[in-house]
């Protein structure tokens, strides 16, 4: 590696502090040369710090889930982050803007996993067989980097801008065509975007399978009970105090208010 263990811990501590103190920073690659693999090691250290404070890891999120975006960023797979227990907000709940830096909102489709999933050759069919529920979801991303300006290693090290999320009521996958789950994304009652499950790599189960195979390469599995946010269905929208966001889908609704 280009950076040693001491530097990895220093970077993770810095990013962790920025989240806790709700302050921006310059992207870490302005100061350090970091590979994508090293960025995931920094993310692992961030995870360790949160666990040491008593938090639990309850799932994962997936980013760069459009082919066009992957080509733009020069990668062949999405990127992956973890979800801590304190990220989760009840459906219909409120998020204080004072807790975050400059949050943005994305509509998602969530998977609730009922059986352990393990790579290296996980397929979308394996994902569906191990999924208890599919649910509409909202992800609140909140990069610690100034003005949301980052490159690929920087955003991965920052846990892929993970911050908060909301999951609606779920539906068993057996009766669903995930590609054709219709989604309407609203802000303050106004429709911002309509989309479908196919916006996530043609089928959101594809991105979850990629996550499982990524975890295998890091000597991990996707454990039962995990929540997986499979990828954004539209571009992220800046959230301001007083805004209400809602995801309306053919499998249910999820909503949140910024206060």
- Name the average pLDDT for the chain: 94
Does 1 have pLDDT greater than 60? no
Structure tokens at 247: 């995801």
pLDDT single digits (tens) 146-183? 999 999 999 999 999 999 999 999 999 998 999 999 99
Tell me, what's the pLDDT at 75? 73
Tell me, what's the pLDDT at 4? 87
Domains and their CATH numbers in the chain = 5-258 (3.90.850.10)
Alpha carbons 225 and 209: distance in angstroms, whole number: 16
| Chain mean position to CA 246 | 18
Q: How confident is the model at residue 22 (pLDDT cuts 50, 70, 90)?
A: very high
pLDDT single digits (tens) 106-126? 999 999 999 999 999 999 999
Does 2 have pLDDT greater than 90? no
Tell me, what's the pLDDT at 69? 67
Specify whether the CB–CB gap between 36 and 217 falls below 8 A: no
202: part of which helix (H) or strand (E)? none
pLDDT single digits (tens) 180-199? 999 999 999 999 999 999 99
Tell me, what's the pLDDT at 72? 64
Q: Can you tell me whether residue 200 is helix, strand or coil?
A: coil
* Percent of the chain topping pLDDT 70: 97
Q: In 3D, which of 105, 111, 252, 258 has the Cα closest to residue 193?
A: 105
Q: In 3D, which of 62, 59, 57 has the Cα closest to residue 230?
A: 62
Tell me, what's the pLDDT at 77? 79
* Percent of the chain topping pLDDT 90: 91
Tell me, what's the pLDDT at 66? 75
Tell me, what's the pLDDT at 68? 64
Pairing, β 252-258 against β 244-249: antiparallel
Alpha carbons 81 and 230: distance in angstroms, whole number: 11
Alpha carbons 52 and 194: distance in angstroms, whole number: 41
pLDDT single digits (tens) 54-96? 999 999 999 988 766 667 667 777 999 999 999 999 999 999 9
> DSSP letter at 26?
-
Does 36 have pLDDT greater than 80? yes
Cα-based distances in Å from 82 to 1, 61, 162:
23, 6, 8
């Amino acid at each position: 590696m280009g950076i040693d263990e001491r530097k990895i811990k220093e970077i993770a501590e810095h990013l962790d502090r920025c989240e806790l103190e709700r302050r921006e920073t310059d992207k870490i690659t302005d100061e350090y040369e970091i590979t994508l693999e090293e960025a995931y090691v920094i993310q692992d250290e961030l995870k360790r710090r949160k666990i040491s404070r008593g938090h639990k890891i309850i799932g994962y999120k997936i980013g760069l889930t459009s082919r066009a975006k992957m080509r733009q960023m020069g990668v062949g797979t999405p990127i992956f982050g973890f979800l801590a227990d304190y990220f989760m907000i009840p459906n219909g709940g409120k998020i204080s803007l004072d807790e975050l830096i400059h949050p943005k909102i994305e509509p998602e489709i969530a998977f609730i996993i009922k059986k352990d999933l393990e790579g290296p050759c996980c397929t979308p069919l394996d994902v569906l067989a191990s999924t208890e529920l599919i649910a509409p979801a909202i992800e609140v991303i909140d990069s610690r980097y100034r003005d949301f300006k980052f490159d690929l290693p920087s955003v991965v090290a920052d846990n892929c801008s993970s911050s908060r999320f909301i999951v609606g009521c779920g539906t068993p996958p057996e009766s669903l065509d995930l590609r054709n789950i219709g989604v309407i994304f609203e802000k303050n009652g106004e429709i911002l975007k309509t989309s479908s499950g196919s916006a996530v790599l043609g089928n959101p189960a594809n991105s979850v399978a990629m996550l499982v195979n990524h975890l295998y390469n890091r000597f991990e599995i996707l454990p039962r009970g995990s929540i997986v946010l499979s990828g954004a269905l539209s571009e992220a929208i800046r959230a301001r105090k007083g805004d209400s966001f809602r995801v309306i889908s053919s499998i249910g609704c999820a909503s949140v208010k910024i206060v």
